[in-house]
Structure 1
Amino acid sequence: MSKSIEAMWKDGFIKETQLVAPKINDLYNRKSQNIVDKLQHMFALNIKAIIVGSLLMLLMFSLIGAPWLGVYICVLLIPLVIIAKKELRKSLQLSKGLSSYDYIMSFNTWLQDSIAVYGRYYRVFYPMLFIGMAVQGIVSEAGRKMIGLLVSAWPTDFLILGVPYYLLLTIALIILVVARSADALYKLDLNIVYGRQFKKLDELIADMQSLRKT
């Protein structure tokens, strides 16, 4: 045997005429499908988790006397569920008749596009979520007491709806920071939930691309 095992393995991936090619292709077909199936399953579970979580938050906030904040958060999550279902349907419609390489690359293209779609909404979601929490804090009994303490410590006649201007400026500054950090927050969220699977996907694509170049 003049060829090394490594050379035969590489040739088998690229040339279907080689004896080992079907085994290599089947291996990558299974690895590709396993990763895609795992991610799609996680995406579907995430949709269910958002729905259940929003209902639990509505119940929790209602019990602590802040039902409107619960409703507000549920309203913010509705577009997220709609986006998630739409994007998941797109991934399920990808053609499985392609080669393992073409299939995994088409899935990765969809994934990057989907992340961009989510990212655009999260740039709105995070600031709006903080605004809702800030408003609830201001109108709550505890918030009113805190505002009273602030005015006593730093008196001012410049009040807007009973709220000192410096508190509103602080809230506005935090909203700006949250808005600017939305992409980073979303990427952190992605990494926590899907980081391991994304890493496996990247490694598989890198392996397949490396073999195609040899």
Structure 2
Amino acid sequence: MNDSKKSIEDIWKEGFFKEGNLYAPKVNELYHRKSKHSVEQILQGFKKEVQLLIPLAIILFLFNIVLDNDNSVFWGIVCALPCLLWFYLGQRQLKSLKQIDYGASCYDYLLSVQHQLDKIHHFNKRLSVSSVPIILFPMLIYTYFKNPNKTMGELFGIESWDWSSLTIFGLLPLMTLIAFGVAEVSFKKAKKSRNIKIDELIKDLEELKS
């Protein structure tokens, strides 16, 4: 079995059963390789997610054009702009991860990467939730003033909804609350799957140091 594919536990066992098989430099080198490989995988996955935002922006813009509603170009731009903003921020976040200095200790390097990933995670979660009311509010204002005398039922094609069109603004807190719940679940899952290898390596290193 290739050393790079062996678990740390396997190497320790071989070290105990075969005298002279385990050396500190060898273990350090293994951790160096594993650390760099794990971080590189995270960076590649992050890069793909960021790059997907450009085609998503184009799709949202074209979707509004195809609908051919009033001011479709304007609303296409409104829908596409958040994706372009997230792309810009994602590029900066990716750069911040790449700029982390490896230094002499893979343990310190992994802690720095973990800390930066946590910062990115919390920022992106807040951004995704706050983006909902920011994008939705102008759409609701436009819909309300475009249809001032219509009921909610007439706006949405449901006859039993005879409430005033003002009620449409109730969608703002409702959709924000839904976005918060979705973000809480999805970001927690993404963080766990993205950081699991780094967390395991840090735990192994802490056990070896103790």
- Normalised by the length of structure 2, the TM-score is 0.72
In the alignment, structure 1 residue 206 sits paired with structure 2 residue 209: no
Q: Which of 1 and 2 has higher RCO (CA within 8 Å, sep 6+)?
A: 1
In the alignment, structure 1 residue 112 sits paired with structure 2 residue 115: no
Q: Which residue of 1 aligns with 2:60?
A: 57
In the alignment, structure 1 residue 101 sits paired with structure 2 residue 122: no
Distance in structure 2 (CA, Å) of the matches to 1:94 and 1:155: 58
Distance in structure 1 (CA, Å) of the matches to 2:141 and 2:40: 42
Query: Matched residues, percent identical?
Result: 21
Distance in structure 1 (CA, Å) of the matches to 2:185 and 2:142: 26
Distance in structure 2 (CA, Å) of the matches to 1:136 and 1:192: 36
In the alignment, structure 1 residue 92 sits paired with structure 2 residue 89: no
8 Å contact kept, 2:35–2:106: yes
Question: 1:44 pairs with 47, 66, 81, which one?
Answer: 47
What pairs with 1:1-214 in structure 2 (closer than 5 Å)?
9=12, 20-66=23-69, 67=72, 68-131=74-137, 146-147=154-155, 153=160, 155=162, 159=164, 163=165, 165=166, 167-168=167-168, 170-178=170-178, 181-182=179-180, 184-190=181-187, 195-213=192-210
Could you tell me how far 1:129 is from its partner in structure 2?
4.0
Superimposed CA distance per residue, residues 192-214 of structure 1 (whole angstroms, 9 cap, x where no aligned partner): 5564332222222222222222x
Could you tell me how far 1:154 is from its partner in structure 2?
5.4
Could you tell me how far 1:186 is from its partner in structure 2?
2.8
8 Å contact kept, 1:50–1:81: yes
Structure 2: tracts of 5 or more residues without a match: 1-7, 16-20
Q: Cα RMSD between the aligned structures?
A: 3.4
Say if 1:24 and 1:81 are closer, same or farther in 2 by CA, change over 3 A: same
Structure 1: tracts of 5 or more residues without a match: 13-17
Could you tell me how far 1:108 is from its partner in structure 2?
0.7
Distance in structure 2 (CA, Å) of the matches to 1:47 and 1:121: 15
Distance in structure 1 (CA, Å) of the matches to 2:139 and 2:109: 43
- Normalised by the length of structure 1, the TM-score is 0.71
Q: Matched residue pairs, number?
A: 189
Could you tell me how far 1:176 is from its partner in structure 2?
4.6
